[in-house]
Structure 1
Amino acid sequence: MIVIDGSQGEGGGQILRNALGLSLITGQSFRIHNIRGQRERPGLMRQHLTAIEAAMAIGGATCDGAGVGAAEITFRPGSVKGGDYRFAVGTAGSAGLVLQTLLPALMIADAPSRLVLEGGTHNPYAPPFEFLERSLLPLINRMGPRVEARLIRHGFYPRGGGSMEVDITPSPLRRLDCHDRGALGATRATALVAGLPGDIVRREIMTAREVLDWPHDCFHIERLAEERGPGNVLLLEAAFEQVTEVVSGFGRFGVSAESLAKTAASRILGYMASTAFAGPYLADQLIVPFSLAGGGSFTTVKPSNHTKSAIAIAEMFLGRQWQIEAQSDGTHLLSVK
């Protein structure tokens, strides 16, 4: 049995999610202790418990010790089955992070699957739906599987209530080598707001226009139904020929619209000024599928603790080693052997 210290590396929920997915694929049981040991509120939260329950449902697995607040569990996988599944977090916890748990196993399963995932689709502690749809899934589709995601309802923190549907057609994974992102195509800035004064998004867009040297028709405001709020997010997208980067800034109490927009704009400009293929969040998400493909590489900015933790868990379950090499242009080349 694999034993994992959940406080290692980034010390958050990603360690648990990656372990669940890789356990389902490899058939290896694991015990994890100090779950989310580096978080202000350690232990399992509702979204992590939903991920465990979902992994049990698709994989005929058993789990000892699971419950809100639990710091240790033992997970024993069964056999993964494709099919139609519905999972609800029940809070604003991220539905997308539940997808992160299930996707690796279902994209190489015995049959197609359809998932309905309910919970948060836009919250500051997880990639928003647009990142999954436009940054991650196009690369997964290039590896062989076919994954299509649809946003049914927005779900903001703290209310939740969002919903997404995901169709997965499995296939063996083929390696990708992602070094050149190609020429820049479209750019887009979208400010979403629900149940909050419209002046917030106008100020976000005005500030983003001042910082970004993008055409005026790239900037958009989208007002959602009042009952979907309160919520606000600024999404900045840079679509290159081979990859799309999506940077998000979430409105929250005590942070001005101007400050939010300046921070998000600075992040997208930093990515665009580099030659890195994958931004820091996309790099995290590529570790498991590239490991499962048995080879591949990509360039990114300086690897984060999240990326290093993903590598450590993948190496535990699969025994395939990753190499990180600093490049002369300031990027890093990550490759799995």
Structure 2
Amino acid sequence: MNRSAAPLLHIDGSQGEGGGQVLRTALALSLCLGRPFRMVNIRAGRKKPGLRPQHLTAVRAAAEIGRAKVEGDQPASQELCFQPGKLTPGKYQFTMLTAGSTILVLQTILPALLTAQGPSRLVLEGGTHNPMAPPFDFLVHAFLPLLTRMGAKVKTQLLQYGFYPAGGGRIRVDIDPVGTLKPLDLTGRGRLRGIEARAIVSRLPEHIALRELDVIARELDLGKDCLSMQVETGANSPGNVVWVAVHSEHVTEVFTGFGRRGVPAEAVADEVVQETRRYLQAGNVAAAEYLADQLLLPLALAGKGSFTTVEPSRHTLTNIEVIRQFTGCRFRCLPIGEDACRIGLG
């Protein structure tokens, strides 16, 4: 596509779920397609509307790798104009002084760098384990293996944990471009191979992690060999995260809980158990809610593919609509049972 000739696309940031994903998907596709856009009503329905530090970092990261012209990239701005230029791979470092998610910033710029003309290395600083975003463990165990099956070559390293609300984490990401992603078809998760759970504590008593693992082991009937505890000494703040990985024949899903002040460890663990059970009880679906969100954009760039998932969330449906506005792709959501559907393209 001729980047200079691409018409300006107008996007309402308050549509559907109306959160930051509308902006991130728009930035990612703008970089990939060379399509400029103007967005209004950014996060208009949120308690603190407009661009927050995490969103500003994503905008500025996209602008830097895409040599873009940007208007409105200011704190709390509810309007943004983004005109991409030449996509430029290379070495970049992007820093948030808050616990804003490094994973969501990566989500914004990774698709374009996968199709760039050369390799890239990113160092992202901020939150690595944030209750409002996919944690690093989800990225490594659930999402990137599927992206690898689509031809992507991405290596990641967690250099330092960054817990909410202090942040201070660091991840490194090495990306070798592939040109075009291959279609992915996940008709189901296949045979269950095993379930594991890990509880991590930083500058907090170890009994918190042990109590979380006790609940998960009892409720999901896991043996001691499926449980692990990590006492993290490198983070610059207290933090607690517990995750369960469901390893199946065709996919691994990860469900995460975050410790927070005033909430017992047992309650945090129970939240993870309930998410895991919903997934296991939804038939042979491949992706749970959050992985479904992540798969939509790669499939759109591949032009073909499908996956089975639980009933689509409003977040997922909003993402589908933003992708349609940029690409014309129309995902089909076909019910295949109670609380299950197949989302497909092509």
Please say which of residues 198-207 and 94-103 is displaced more in the overlay. Answer: 198-207
Match in the other structure for 1:64 = 71
Q: What are the equivalent positions in structure 2 for 1:238-277 lying under 5 Å apart? A: 238-274=246-282, 275-277=284-286
Q: Name the SS for the 1:98 alignment partner.
A: helix
Match in the other structure for 2:3 = none
Q: State the identity as a percent.
A: 47
Match in the other structure for 2:172 = 165
Report if aligned partners of 2:216, 2:222 keep a CA contact under 8 Å in 1: no
Q: In structure 2, do the counterparts of structure 1 residues 312 and 234 end up closer, same or farther at CA, with 3 Å as the change threshold? A: same
Match in the other structure for 1:119 = 126
Match in the other structure for 1:217 = 225
Extract unaligned runs of 5+ from structure 1. none
Task: Find the aligned partners of 1:329 and 1:43 in 2 and give their Cα distance.
Answer: 37
Extract unaligned runs of 5+ from structure 2. 1-7
Q: Name the SS for the 2:92 alignment partner.
A: strand
Given residue 129 of structure 2, which amino acid in structure 1 is its aligned partner? H
Task: Find the aligned partners of 1:38 and 1:212 in 2 and give their Cα distance.
Answer: 38
Q: CA deviation at 1:30?
A: 0.7
Report if aligned partners of 1:194, 1:223 keep a CA contact under 8 Å in 2: yes
Pair 1:189-2:189 in alignment = no
Report if aligned partners of 2:66, 2:87 keep a CA contact under 8 Å in 1: yes
User: How many residue pairs end up in the alignment?
Assistant: 337
Q: CA deviation at 1:203?
A: 1.3
Match in the other structure for 2:210 = 202
Cα RMSD, aligned residues only:
1.2
Q: CA deviation at 1:72?
A: 0.7
Task: Find the aligned partners of 1:272 and 1:140 in 2 and give their Cα distance.
Answer: 23
Match in the other structure for 1:21 = 28
Task: Find the aligned partners of 1:135 and 1:226 in 2 and give their Cα distance.
Answer: 24
Partner residue of 1:290 out of 299, 312, 318:
299
Report if aligned partners of 1:192, 1:232 keep a CA contact under 8 Å in 2: yes
Q: Deviations over 1:244-295 (max 9, x none)?
A: 1100000112211111111111111221222111110000001111001011
Moved over 3 A (4+): none
Match in the other structure for 2:9 = 2
Q: What are the equivalent positions in structure 2 for 1:102-113 lying under 5 Å apart? A: 102-113=109-120
Task: Find the aligned partners of 2:35 and 2:162 in 1 and give their Cα distance.
Answer: 34
Task: Find the aligned partners of 2:340 and 2:236 in 1 and give their Cα distance.
Answer: 40
Partner residue of 1:99 out of 91, 98, 106:
106
Match in the other structure for 2:236 = 228
Q: In structure 2, do the counterparts of structure 1 residues 279 and 227 end up closer, same or farther at CA, with 3 Å as the change threshold? A: closer
Report if aligned partners of 2:190, 2:250 keep a CA contact under 8 Å in 1: yes
Given residue 324 of structure 1, which amino acid in structure 2 is its aligned partner? C
Match in the other structure for 2:290 = 281
Task: Find the aligned partners of 1:314 and 1:51 in 2 and give their Cα distance.
Answer: 18
Q: CA deviation at 1:38?
A: 2.4
Report if aligned partners of 2:162, 2:235 keep a CA contact under 8 Å in 1: no
Task: Find the aligned partners of 1:176 and 1:40 in 2 and give their Cα distance.
Answer: 37
Given residue 24 of structure 1, which amino acid in structure 2 is its aligned partner? L
Pair 1:310-2:314 in alignment = no
Report if aligned partners of 1:149, 1:164 keep a CA contact under 8 Å in 2: yes
